[in-house]
């Protein structure tokens, strides 16, 4: 079923971009939809291959107002979510990989974080009230061999010529996962127009909470942006959770615009299965740190219907015997049909 889901999403994406005239009607059906592909990897930010080593996320966001009734009803049960704004939905499929610092060891050291994978699907609902954006997200997936992280990492390492990871026999056990996330962002809380080349400066603080057997934490932070046409990009490029917030949707432009962004956010961590180990089964684990902080900076560019962004992230130590903070990068490509 998981392989089927990946194949279906790929078929939709490549079919939509196909130049064949036979797909014209299909493109019309996708009018107003936004596709996002996000790749996060420590290769983009350092020469290491460890800890949160890779993440892939594909998402589709329909036009505003096209929200399934069941998703709208589910969000109504959450006490802090307001549906007074413009409603938008988002559907995502992703995979995260986690590994110890030395992947050549057959039996990883107890002091290092365990191997783990997370294959998931997410259903999100956004209520955009101009100055405030509420996000509700439900994520379901699998941890363990069922996440397909082991064959995926081994295949990629063979293709690029990297050392083969040897310790996946000690990865976390199979476990279904559920995460419910709520996030509130005060969009453009401070907004300054410079009057020079249409350049603007804004900042958008945020706060949120995630509850589940995979991640449970509370978080807060802010993101600064400096550049052009900031209002049409409702929060910056999407990222892979846990992370600073981004947005799956934006408004196309008449030409080329750009902006720089930077920000920081902290999390009070109650549970992280990739550090704490399986919920009910015996597995590798490490002593996690209760507070984790992310700092990021990057560049986003939009040209008509396309958005491309690169982000550099530094994450503080996540467990007590970790030798140094982690650094990785994110590449996001988005297209609005």
pLDDT digits (tens, 9 = 90+) for 136-146: 999 999 999 99
pLDDT of residue 25: 53
Cis peptide preceding 154, ω within 30 of 0? no
CB atoms within 10 A of CB 299: 15
Cβ-based neighbours of 152, under 8 Å, separated by 6 or more: 95, 97, 117
Rounded to two decimals, the pTM is 0.89
**Which backbone phi and psi does 314 adopt, to 5 degrees?**
-120, 125
Q: Take residue 242 and report the two structure tokens written for it.
A: 């846990």
Give the model's pLDDT for residue 75: 77
Strand partners, 215: 272
Q: Look at residue 28 in the predicted model and tell me its pLDDT.
A: 62
Q: CA-to-CA distance for 95 and 256, rounded, in angstroms? A: 32
pLDDT for the residue 6 = 41
> What is d(CA 298, CA 35) in angstroms, rounded to the nearest whole number?
20
Q: Of 50, 34, 32, which Cα lies nearest the Cα of 42?
A: 50
C-beta separation of 217 from 270 below 8 A: yes
pLDDT of residue 20: 45
CB 144, CB 98: distance < 8 Å: no
Spans of the chain, pLDDT less than 50 = 1-24, 26
* pLDDT in the model for residue 24: 45
What's the rounded Cα separation, in Å, for the pair 288 and 270? 9
Q: Structure tokens of 268?
A: 């009070």
User: How would you label 47-59 residue by residue, b for 16+ Cβ within 10 Å and e otherwise?
Assistant: eebbbbbbbbbbb
């Amino acid at each position: 079923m998981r392989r089927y889901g990946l194949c279906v999403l790929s078929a939709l994406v490549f079919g939509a971009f196909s130049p064949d005239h036979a797909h014209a009607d299909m493109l019309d059906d996708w009018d107003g939809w936004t596709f996002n592909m996000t790749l996060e990897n420590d290769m983009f930010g350092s020469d290491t291959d460890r800890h949160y080593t890779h993440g892939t996320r594909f998402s589709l966001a329909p036009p505003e107002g096209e929200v399934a009734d069941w998703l709208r009803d589910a969000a109504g049960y959450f006490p802090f979510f307001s549906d007074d704004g413009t409603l938008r939905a988002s559907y995502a499929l992703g995979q995260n990989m986690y590994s110890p610092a030395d992947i050549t060891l057959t039996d990883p050291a107890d002091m290092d974080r365990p191997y783990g994978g997370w294959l998931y699907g997410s259903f999100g609902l956004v209520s955009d009230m101009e100055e405030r954006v509420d996000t509700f997200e439900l994520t379901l997936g699998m941890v363990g061999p069922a996440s397909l992280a082991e064959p995926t990492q081994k295949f990629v390492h063979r293709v690029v010529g990297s050392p083969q990871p040897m310790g996946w026999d000690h990865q976390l056990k199979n476990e279904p996962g559920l995460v419910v996330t709520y996030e509130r962002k005060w969009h453009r809380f401070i907004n300054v127009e410079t009057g020079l080349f249409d350049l603007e400066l804004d900042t958008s603080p945020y706060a949120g909470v995630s509850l589940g057997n995979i991640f449970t934490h509370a978080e807060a932070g802010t993101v600064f942006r400096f550049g052009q046409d900031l209002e049409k990009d409702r929060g910056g490029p999407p990222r892979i959770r846990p992370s600073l917030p981004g947005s799956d949707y934006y408004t196309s432009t008449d030409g080329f615009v750009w902006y720089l962004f930077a920000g920081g956010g902290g999390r009070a961590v109650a549970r992280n299965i990739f550090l704490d180990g399986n919920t009910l089964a015996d597995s590798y684990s490490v002593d996690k740190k209760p507070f984790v902080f992310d700092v990021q900076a990057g560049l986003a560019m939009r040209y008509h219907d396309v958005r491309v962004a690169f982000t550099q992230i530094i994450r503080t130590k996540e467990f007590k015997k970790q030798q140094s903070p982690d650094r990785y990068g994110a590449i996001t490509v988005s297209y609005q049909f």
